[in-house]
Structure 1
């Protein structure tokens, strides 16, 4: 590898080492193939030099470690990016709470490492589902919605700048909660009807906070305002429906619902992913965008192949196949027996885990 000044970098070069900022937070992971936006990002962060591979890396180098070691290292890198983003977002949230509005560059820099992984790291999507909660629900939830919104935009085949906007929109979607009273936001049990009315104001409060930030994309502003709108008009704050709802808002809405269902809270344990998928398919087909939901669910289900599942009939087996037309009901192998949950509607998945 060679040491090279950032001013001499060219698209296509591959980083040989992770790049950190002066506070020790990861900016770009090693082995990232640089694009022009990466070079601009490093320049904006005042990075003087980086280490790059002096030749195009041969895949043979990857076999110097065992597959298990490589997988563990890859998972650790994903979790570090996740934790770094949570820390940065926590600072942004506190700034808003104190009345200090961050500039666009701070917001953009916060999601940059996640965005790079979504765009360039094919293993990121597989590994991110294994991340455990790092901080309290508010911060953890926003970063998870950010990751899933960006991935969903990628799965939909959207341009890279829209993927970046989706990642940023997911991070900021609940920023209005910084102006919700703590006794409501942190209540350890379910909200009363009156408290829920107050909580529902967070989308408008969030829009007020972000609408005048120079350079913040319009799509991101709309996602903050509209992520609780529903295609049948049953959502809030304005009860708009169908094509009246910004497309990015529909993406963030699906990520938000999925994360809210699968994450643990003080007063309620999250459901397992296939329960959430089933709920979205059966209960949300008129409220969430149908075509976007299908793309999301068929992709998510795939990442749980190989997980163990305990079934409602007491059997335990391995998830070996998922179906695009019914992602919530996979094929389970129990010993020599194969149980297709699409045909065995009386059997449900109770819990799943990874070995």
Structure 2
């Protein structure tokens, strides 16, 4: 091993020790094989030298000369490995299939909630099937197929459920709470079943009387869930409290932070994120990164700051390599995310590294799957 000046690095060399920025953030992991774009990233961060395995340029394979070959034995050609892409696509399709089943069940449950009991056991069973496939659910990039704008409320319920499940784990809640938090996310808006549909789906601003009716969905939801023994009190309180704010400015009871149940605090973050990133009848879907910045600003007095910090840190953690569209309509690829500015990553556009922290007029408007 040995340190090699960045100016002398070549694609194909392997990093022997992690590379860190001047502020201590990990730029590249140990064992990473350098590609041409990585050399641009290292230069952009003013890294002078890197610890490289072997300390030099790797030996390149030498082509064999048939005339100088001393052995006539032929090396058997290994059978080509099966491409993982069809397997991966099948798994993703299976997740989408189970998601669609969940969607149909949630729709029928919400629509019949006033006339019949809520089928909690059926909902939980299908939810647990989805939760068993969570590795195929990426919060920032997952978009439901065939999104019907009239089904927004049901999509929001499912996505809030899945996101709340992940957030409960990340926030350190005991394992016994994880599925209950997921149920809290799934049922947090069940009270909308009692709200006048003409008001609920109104495409423009509501008057004060209509707004008060919509806000009643929190109280309605708690009343609908309070006598269901399969749900714990946290699930019921999430339906009641997910619009409360830690500074006491929320509704329906104007509770302050210490009186809001942790389930409600988690569901509130998930609900806001998906409410803003899903397409509605009267509004386009917003950029996940812009929404994260808005949620970050809400952490000051409105949302639980520790939960917000955990959420933003985790969902942006593994997205290096993701292709994105900037507000200039340029397509780029995320090459580094500074943990102190997780919503403003460095993006490679046509070979140029753009640091969004330093370019406030630029931002990501779309993640391209």
- Asked if TM exceeds 0.5, the reply is yes
Identify the TM-score tier after normalising by the shorter chain.
0.7 to 0.9
Q: How does 1:46-195 map to 2 (within 5 A)?
A: 65-98=82-115, 100-102=116-118, 104-118=120-134, 122-125=135-138, 129-132=142-145, 134-135=147-148, 136-195=151-210
Q: Which has the larger radius of gyration?
A: 2
Distance, in Å, in 1 between the alignment partners of 2:140 and 2:330 is 27
2:236 to 203, 218, 221: 221
* Segment drifting more, 105-114 vs 80-89: 105-114
Report the 3-state secondary structure (helix = DSSP H, G, I; strand = E; otherwise coil) of the residue aligned with 1:89.
helix
- Structure showing greater relative contact order (alpha-carbon pairs closer than 8 Å, 6 or more residues apart): 2
Contact 2:288 2:366 in 1 (8 A): no
Aligned length: 288
Report the Cα offset of residue 353 of structure 1: 1.8
Aligned to 2:41: none
Change (3 A) 1:155 1:106: same
Q: Secondary structure at the match of 2:366?
A: strand
1:310 Cα deviation from its structure 2 partner = 2.9
User: CA shift at 1:261, angstroms?
Assistant: 0.6
Measured at CA, do residues 76 and 317 of structure 1 come closer, stay the same or move farther in structure 2, by a change above 3 Å? same
Q: Quick check: 1:240 aligned with 2:261? A: no
Per-residue CA distance 1:65-110 (angstroms, 9 max, x = gap)? 4122122112112211211111111121122132x12354234223
Give the secondary-structure state (helix, strand or coil) at the position aligned to 1:338: strand
Distance 1:64 1:187 in 2: 55
Q: CA deviation at 1:263?
A: 0.6
Give, in angstroms, the shift of residue 313 of structure 1: 4.5
* 1:145-185 CA distance string (max 9 Å, x none): 11111111122232222110111001100000000001011
Structure 2 counterpart SS, 1:319: strand
- State the shift of 1:64 in Å: 6.7
- Give the Cα separation in 2 of the matches to 1:217 and 1:236: 22
Deviation by residue 1:271-300 (Cα, 9 ceiling, x = unmatched): 010010111112443201111111111222
Contact 1:78 / 1:128 at 8 angstroms: preserved in 2? Answer: no
Alpha-carbon distance in structure 1 between the residues aligned to 2:218 and 2:238: 9
Q: Say yes or no: does 1:204 pair with 2:219.
A: yes
TM-score calculated relative to the size of structure 1: 0.75
Per the alignment, residue 24 of structure 2 pairs with: none
Alignment gaps of 5+ in structure 1: 1-62
TM-score by length of 2: 0.73
Structure with higher helix content = 1
Asked if 1:278 corresponds to 2:278, the answer is no
By how many angstroms is 1:270 displaced? 1.5
Over 3 Å counting, the alpha-carbon distance change for 1:134 and 1:316 in structure 2 is closer
